[in-house]
Amino acid sequence: MRTIAVAAVLLAIVVAVLARQGEAGSRDAIERGAPIAADAKSVTVAQLLETPEAYGEDPVVVEGVVSKVCRLRGCWMTLSPEAGGVGVHVTFKGLSVPRDSKGMKARVAGVARVKTENGEARISFVASGVELWE
């Protein structure tokens, strides 16, 4: 009887994992934090960099390539239009990303923050959810 109970629990876990993978679409995504809806309207990092004030009030989903990652804990990353390019500094609320995610494509959901220092706009992004894939 105990074997049947253990098998039922394992089966439930496998079904839950497979269902979660199906939600992520055809790509094998790493997901952290709040889920991002597959149909969520998103903007590119380039769009955010061009007109940051347009995205500073409401939550938004931004897509780009991870060009830098915190090597100690994965507690921040830089999201760029292309690998190695100029990008947006992304910090996370209660989550972290794999430290080896540099070069991966990403979608982050959160709020953009714009600060002006010495006449220059600096953009940062506070993310509540992230998806990463190759």
Structural domains present in the chain: 28-133 (2.40.50.140)
**What pTM, to 2 d.p., does this model score?**
0.74
Q: Is the pLDDT at 76 greater than 80, yes or no?
A: yes
97 to each of 10, 32, 34, 103, 130, how far by Cα in Å?
27, 7, 13, 13, 8
User: 60-69 and 105-117 as β-strands: parallel, antiparallel, unpaired?
Assistant: antiparallel
Sorted by sequence, the CB contacts under 8 Å of residue 113 that are 6+ apart come out as: 56, 123, 124, 125, 126
What tens digit of pLDDT does each residue of 7-34 get? 444 444 534 444 444 444 456 899 999 9
